[in-house]
Amino acid sequence: MNYLKKNFSLKNYNSFKLDVTTSNFAKFSSLEQLNYLLKKNNKKLLILGGGSNLLFTKNFEGTILYNNICGISIIKENKQHITVKVGAGELWDNFVSWSVNNNYSGIENLALIPGNVGACPIQNIGAYGMEVKDTIEKVIAVEIKSNKIKEFKNVDCKFKYRESIFKKKLKNKYIITHVLFKLSKSHLNITSYGDVSNELKKLKLDANPKNISLAVSNIRNKKLPNPKQLANCGSFFKNPTITRQKFEKLKKKFPEIIGYQISEQKIKIAAGWLIDNAGMKGYRIGDAGVHKNQALVLVNYGNASGKDILNLAKIIKKKIKEIYNIELENEVTII
């Protein structure tokens, strides 16, 4: 275990590359170490994974614990499925590689999403027609207050689009240590989202978990800025849901508006389209900017502060409200 470090720089621990510090920082790689750190700590606490969904707006006055519990092990198996227990500190994309290399299906469309396994339930990560809620069997976590282990069944996690109980009611109350996934031995082959089937055709590959993860990775590499080259946190805002009635009204004014039906009366709108159509793609204030190709992605060109990025987000929200009367909600957690 790395014992508590004082005034520790988080620059290499957040994908916006913000130059902030935390009063205390420690890494743990076992339940015993976590137990010890929790007993010792009397400050405000934050659990950090890959830092790819966080915006630090100031120095953190408290203790940041970096979860480094690793390991992937099959704990149950039958003809159709396996249940696999994964340490929260495993890199998400390494787990996707493990799954597709073993020919299991259920998370292949989520290839190349940055971050660690422990954070995947927090906002129910999703991409290209898959959400992680559909494979999560259980989440194992330690309650910060009592230092006791609690198991959350899938239904207890209250998963929704980019939401779970851990992002709402239980925010900062539990530390996820392991996630149990139920993966399928038969192939789901979801290829109808984005350009997945076109990419497979281009590569002259059949649909199977490994090939789909390759196709998704290729598409993501072309479309999304790599945080190692241009600091960002992926989509900054959620895609808003509006009523069909409001959608029809907007469609008259903006015939090109992009919406997906999610129920009889609800339509999910592409927030990137709203921002792009508002003329804000590529918009920049100092080093805080809207990405030039992906309007949903805010970037740090170098020396932006968390406050600069938050200020840009506020300006975008105001404009979107004025033009479309839609309130954008942050997907990224603001600290």
Q: Which is closer to ligand FAD, CB of 196 or CB of 250?
A: 196
Q: Which is closer to ligand FAD, CB of 124 or CB of 277?
A: 124
Q: Which is closer to ligand FAD, CB of 88 or CB of 267?
A: 88
Is-catalytic flag, 284? no
Q: Which is closer to ligand FAD, CB of 200 or CB of 216?
A: 216
Q: Which is closer to ligand FAD, CB of 144 or CB of 323?
A: 144
147 phi-psi bin (left φ>0, alpha ψ -120 to 50, beta other)? left
Spell out the residues 6+ positions from residue 100 whose beta carbon is closer than 8 angstroms to its own. Answer: 108, 111, 209, 210, 212, 213
CB of 246 to ligand FAD, least distance (A): 25
Measured N-to-C along each axis, helices 196-203 and 209-223 cross at an angle, to the nearest 10 degrees, of 110
End-to-end CA distance of the chain: 25
CB of 47 to ligand FAD, least distance (A): 4
CB of 250 to ligand FAD, least distance (A): 25
Q: Which is the catalytic residue, given 99, 162, 199, 213?
A: 162
- The side-by-side arrangement of strands in the sheet containing 72-77 is 72-77, 81-87, 174-184, 136-143, 149-153
Distances in whole angstroms, Cα of residue 242 to Cα of each of 129, 246, 255, 262: 20, 7, 16, 10
Nearest residue to 54 (alpha-carbon basis) of 88, 21, 9, 18: 18
Is-catalytic flag, 235? yes
**Residues contributing to the site for ligand FAD (CB under 6 A):** 15, 46-54, 67, 88, 113-116, 118-120, 122-123, 125-127, 175-176, 224, 227, 232-234, 333
Whole-angstrom distance, CA of residue 136 vs CA of residue 86: 11
Q: Which is the catalytic residue, given 15, 164, 235, 305?
A: 235
Chain centre to alpha carbon of residue 142: 21
Burial class (CB in 10 A: 0-12, 13-18, 19+), 109: buried
Over the Cα atoms of the chain, what is R_g? 20
CB of 248 to ligand FAD, least distance (A): 29
Residues taking part in catalysis: 162, 235, 331
